[in-house]
Amino acid sequence: MLTVEKIGGTSMSQFGDVLQNIIIGKRKQGDYYNRIFVVSAYNNVTNWLLEHKKTKEAGIYMKFLNNEKYNEALDNLLEKLIALNREYKDIKLDQDIADKFITERIIQTKNYLNNLADVLATGYVNKQNILLAAREILSSVGEAHSAFNSVNILKNHGIHAIFIDLCGFNDSEYLSIDERIHKAFKGLDFNKVLPIATGYTKGTEGIMREFDRGYSEVTFSKIAVDVKADEAIIHKEFHLSSADPKIVGVDKSIPVGFTNYNVADQLADIGMEAIHPKASKPIELANINIRIKNTFEPEHPGTLISKDFISKDSKVEIVTGSDKLLAIDVHDPQMVGQVGFDYNMMQIFQRHNVSYILKATNANSITTVVWEEDVTEILMAELKNQYYSIISKPVALICAIGTNIAKPGILYKAAKALSDNSINIEGMSQTISQVNMQFVINREDFKKAILVLNETLCVK
């Protein structure tokens, strides 16, 4: 059985646990193989290189964008990465070899960025293309660092690991992402080698340009499809659970066990990705199941995501949501009976590159819930200029999701639980497929609502 397995940044930072729980574990010497590992950068490294994923705090990319001291910033980064190397000395990372590799990679990165800056300074090229190239180059550094270190450590534990560097730093081949992956894995005997691949893949289309920070999962997906894996496994610091353990507590966060790709899409839509939606589709179409496992509970089977799974029991599997949303209500007396009103409004959102998560309508009003960070003053001004009345309000969205929630009373049970805890429902949505019940609530009630619905609908 050939598996392709992705290890996230938080888990990679605790590589001693990864080594003992995932790669070696209780396996015998000959059982280490028939697996491919795709690794993320160590925790926070990509944030330092680009920008913080959640807080948006600027990284080295912003210094390059503003023509600030990015070379000095890269020197500071190198010091941090060498310091990270020291954390893995006890698990047999060769310090000199590891330091030499990342030092050379940072020097190469400086050279590439300096060349791009020179070209940019001529004024003869499209600035956006140069900046995208810089972002691609910076993105690759973290994964190259962690993958190289992993191979070195594994070799020192007697495992025949090989470094699959998909970053393309040392070649000028004009390959697509798929072509580079296929070339890297063609002819490998997976019975005898353990490939450790970078989560970043260089390609003509630009993996950052196409998929932004979800690129490591896209690499993972494309490798799984290319090698025709029997299963794709994602190792995380938590199980895919009924609710965020940081909110409800580990004891009240129940591993899901089994679910389907539709549920995975619902989670991705609200930003709680089991897997990036653009990564899951190729795996789904190739009829490969995905398993989400907890790095720190290696004996637990985790959660299997498959194409056709439907729970025999009608139940809510996951309660999730976000409190970083904005509800925009468009009210216009001319709306009633007017064909195309909704379409015209959506064209405005499309022009401003704003996608909605929920939409609810009545005769004279349309409420859309969108990511607050996507909304600009220009968008709001255009809406106010076009329509009779516009109201916007910071909100939270709570979702009760399951493969089979088509049971009379589940919606009532959820609404009653919110009401009993003085949480007002500002709006709601559920399609005929009955996979996701969505409740718009006041932002300050977000965590309380997660606790209440998890306790009411999921915990037994």
Tell me if 244 is assigned to some domain.
no
Task: Tell me the CATH number at 445.
Answer: 3.30.2130.10
State which of 216, 237, 258 marks the end of a domain.
Answer: 237
- Answer yes or no: are the C-beta atoms of 157 and 180 closer than 8 Å: no
Same domain? 215 vs 356: no
pLDDT, residue 460, reads: 64
Same domain? 18 vs 135: yes
Other C-beta atoms closer than 10 Å to the C-beta of 322 total 19
Tell me if 85 is assigned to some domain.
yes
Query: For residue 308, what are its two tokens?
Result: 């056709």
- Measured CA to CA, the distance from residue 204 to residue 218 in angstroms comes to 15
pTM above threshold 0.85:
yes
Same domain? 115 vs 221: yes
Tell me if 77 is assigned to some domain.
yes
Same domain? 65 vs 192: yes
State which of 191, 219, 237 marks the end of a domain.
Answer: 237
State which of 194, 220, 237 marks the end of a domain.
Answer: 237
Which residues does the chain have with pLDDT short of 70?
A: 273, 460
Same domain? 214 vs 338: no
- Measured CA to CA, the distance from residue 241 to residue 437 in angstroms comes to 17
Residue type, 278: K
pLDDT, residue 271, reads: 81
Same domain? 338 vs 224: no
Tell me if 250 is assigned to some domain.
no
Query: For residue 56, what are its two tokens?
Result: 């948006």
Measured CA distances, 425 to 75, 83, 429 (Å): 51, 49, 11
Same domain? 102 vs 221: yes
- Measured CA to CA, the distance from residue 314 to residue 425 in angstroms comes to 23
How many domains, the chain?
A: 2
Q: Which residue's entry shows tokens 């990705």?
A: 273
Q: What residue numbers bound the domain in which 79 lies?
A: 3-237
Same domain? 220 vs 347: no
Tell me if 20 is assigned to some domain.
yes
Tell me if 143 is assigned to some domain.
yes
Same domain? 344 vs 453: yes
Tell me if 130 is assigned to some domain.
yes
- Measured CA to CA, the distance from residue 65 to residue 423 in angstroms comes to 44
Same domain? 211 vs 334: no
Task: Tell me the CATH number at 207.
Answer: 3.40.1160.10
Other C-beta atoms closer than 10 Å to the C-beta of 58 total 16
Q: What is the pLDDT of residues 334-388, one digit of tens each?
A: 888 888 888 999 999 999 999 999 999 999 999 999 999 999 999 999 999 999 9
pLDDT, residue 263, reads: 94
Same domain? 356 vs 217: no
Tell me if 432 is assigned to some domain.
yes
pLDDT, residue 445, reads: 97
- Measured CA to CA, the distance from residue 253 to residue 87 in angstroms comes to 31
Same domain? 341 vs 193: no
